[in-house]
Structure 1
Amino acid sequence: MRPSVTIVIPFYNCGYVNQALQSALEQTYGPLEIIVVDDGSTTHTGMLQPYLPYIHYLGKANGGTASALNHGIRHASGEYIAWLSSDDIYHRDKINNQVSYMVEHAAYISHTNFNFINQYSQITTHQAAVFPSIPEFYRLFQQGNPVNGCTVMFKKELFTHIGLFDEFLPYTHDLDMWYRVMLAGYPFPFLNEALVNYRWHDEMGTKKHWPAVEQEYHITQARYKDRFSQLLNGFS
């Protein structure tokens, strides 16, 4: 039997959630569970109505993306967990191809390539991620966060080893997780297939809160700087 997968979709006042849900439901892989975590939304909740028979809907008070992800992960039944933001879109074979890749590589975590799309779902950049080598991939963390969270798939067991997302980090919970993964010695392999359409639009949190995002990024990076530098030295 193929391993089961849970897609966790954090949702907060997002007008694109129907497109995200449709892409999750159209996956070619099974067994598949879809969990939508409504993080205290006050708008666009009606978009969920047609999908309720096909998903697990979890409501909660607003606490941010990390808390929504953690809530979904705790309730997930899948052996593997995939994260899909409510404004992004999965390609039909995203789950199928990534599960096959992870089983083949005995991986606890992996990430894939992606395309950028605009507010009209038009692709603006193809194959956005470029990682010439594993050392180069690790070095990119000195400049920013090179991993798109919605391309990532986890083996659920991983969270029992390194913990869940840090809910005190509203913007860099993903970067904090990648640091913990790498410092714990887990390989972070890259499947070079564009299996996600990542939407760049004016209402996204990264754009609306950029000064706060940038400030928190520097704090998170500083927290791991010394230990991560030692890890990088191992590639020299």
Structure 2
Amino acid sequence: MTMPPKISVIIINYNYGRFLGDAIESVLAQDFAGEMEVLVVDDGSTDNSAELVKPYLDRVKWLPKTNGGQVSAFNHAMRHATGEWVGLLEADDTWDKNKLAKTFKRLEREQDASLIQHWLLQSDSKLRPLDGYIYPKGPEHFNFDDTLIGLPYGGTSCIVFNRARLAAMPPMPEDMLYGADICLRWAAAAVKPIANIPEVLGKRRLHGANLFGRTLYDDPAKITAAIAFHTALLNYLASVVRTTGTAPSPASLAHIARERAQMDIFHHRYSGRSRQAFSAWLKLARLLPAAPGSLFKIFSTLLIVVSPRAYIKLQGLYSKLLLIKAKKNG
């Protein structure tokens, strides 16, 4: 068996000192025969992260920097990374000990892959599994349009990518603050489908400090930030399309437009602009495909114009019903 190529593992930390040891230990415990370097980039933490990392400094490289966000931290670490492959791990997550071994075993039969990922077990702050999550048995690949509609999303900590094969991609703008994982998936899939290992090979820790997306629509400030982030992502997507010549399908573009229209409904409604909220709802309704579920979507999102809180409650109930159905069928 050929020795695996060298991998640089980048652990991105900001004020997660209480979790950092678990992340580092999970990397150092890898059942992996290849060469590995571990880079811990600290994005200007104000907690005791610098103190807690000291016992590991003989095995990891500590890269402190001023606070600039996830993308800035990623770019900083990449300037120090020397591996042919790069694996990403958020400081509050962990890897299973066979993650790298299974990743490179898959890459033995798919040697031209640019990016490979897997599922993450959704866990609480103590890494206990959370109920309510389904981990599909497939697929083995995701194409460019899949990434644009969010199908392969598994977070940052499941990504391993080939740095040389993505070197020609546009640089990620550091004013985005976060979203490095999304940009990497788009850039990789625009050239070649993403390889997916449909297994749980790590744990994503859900806790009070990282539940941005789960509480997005009930916070006007987060909606405003999400719209700015969405705009920055679309600008990056445009640069990927220009670089690769790979264009999104009309269905993917419509999906992106629907996401933005729904954010706009909330944004206008929270700002007291009911007329503009209604106009955004009309745009969303026109963008929905002729499908059985579209009628429900049209009328349920109209509820946002009347009462955003009522819509959030309805959506929560609907999600629970879908989960019950999925468990019953699977």
Look up the SS of the partner of 1:83 in the other structure. Answer: strand
Match status 1:36 vs 2:40: yes
- Aligned-partner Cα distance in 1 for 2:150–2:60: 38
8 Å Cα contact 1:115-1:126 kept in structure 2: no
Q: 1:152 maps to what in 2?
A: 159
Given the superposition, is the C-alpha separation of residues 151 and 213 from structure 1 closer, same or farther in structure 2, using an over 3 Å criterion?
farther
Q: 1:84 maps to what in 2?
A: 89
Given the superposition, is the C-alpha separation of residues 26 and 128 from structure 1 closer, same or farther in structure 2, using an over 3 Å criterion?
farther
- Aligned-partner Cα distance in 2 for 1:100–1:34: 20
Residue 208 of structure 1 deviates from its aligned partner by 9.2
- Aligned-partner Cα distance in 2 for 1:18–1:11: 11
Q: Percent identity?
A: 23
Q: How do residues 42-61 of structure 1 correspond to structure 2 at under 5 angstroms?
A: 42-45=46-49, 46-61=51-66
Equivalent of residue 8 in structure 1, options 7, 10, 15: 10
Equivalent of residue 214 in structure 1, options 226, 251, 255: 226
Greater strand content: 1
Look up the SS of the partner of 2:201 in the other structure. Answer: strand
Equivalent of residue 23 in structure 2, options 4, 20, 24: 20
Alignment deviations for residues 102-152 of structure 1 (CA, whole Å, 9 cap, x no partner): 232121111111210101110115975435575798446336772422101
Alignment deviations for residues 155-200 of structure 1 (CA, whole Å, 9 cap, x no partner): 12133121443312123332233222222x2221111121110111
Q: 1:142 maps to what in 2?
A: 149
- Aligned-partner Cα distance in 2 for 1:85–1:70: 14
Gap runs ≥5 in structure 2? 217-221, 242-246, 254-330
Greater helix content: 2
8 Å Cα contact 1:39-1:60 kept in structure 2: yes
8 Å Cα contact 1:39-1:64 kept in structure 2: yes
8 Å Cα contact 1:166-1:173 kept in structure 2: no
Q: Which moved more, 1:135-144 or 1:76-85?
A: 135-144
- Aligned-partner Cα distance in 2 for 1:51–1:135: 36
Given the superposition, is the C-alpha separation of residues 166 and 159 from structure 1 closer, same or farther in structure 2, using an over 3 Å criterion?
farther
Q: Which amino acid aligns with 1:103?
A: E
8 Å Cα contact 2:12-2:90 kept in structure 1: yes
Aligned length: 232
Alignment deviations for residues 30-78 of structure 1 (CA, whole Å, 9 cap, x no partner): 3111000111111022211111111011111111111111111221121
Tell me how large the CA RMSD over aligned residues is. Answer: 2.9
TM (norm. structure 1) is 0.85
- Aligned-partner Cα distance in 2 for 1:209–1:40: 25
Equivalent of residue 71 in structure 1, options 57, 76, 86: 76
Gap runs ≥5 in structure 1? none
Given the superposition, is the C-alpha separation of residues 21 and 230 from structure 1 closer, same or farther in structure 2, using an over 3 Å criterion?
same
- Aligned-partner Cα distance in 2 for 1:197–1:91: 8
Equivalent of residue 180 in structure 2, options 173, 194, 216: 173
- Aligned-partner Cα distance in 2 for 1:51–1:128: 35
Find the structure with the greater CA-based Rg.
Answer: 2
Report 1 or 2 for greater relative contact order, CA contacts < 8 Å, sequence distance ≥ 6.
1
Q: Which amino acid aligns with 1:179?
A: W
Q: Which amino acid aligns with 2:7?
A: V
Q: How do residues 181-220 of structure 1 correspond to structure 2 at under 5 angstroms?
A: 181-183=188-190, 185-204=191-210, 206=212, 210=216, 211=222, 214-220=226-232
Q: Which amino acid aligns with 2:168?
A: H
Q: 1:113 maps to what in 2?
A: 119
Given the superposition, is the C-alpha separation of residues 81 and 125 from structure 1 closer, same or farther in structure 2, using an over 3 Å criterion?
farther
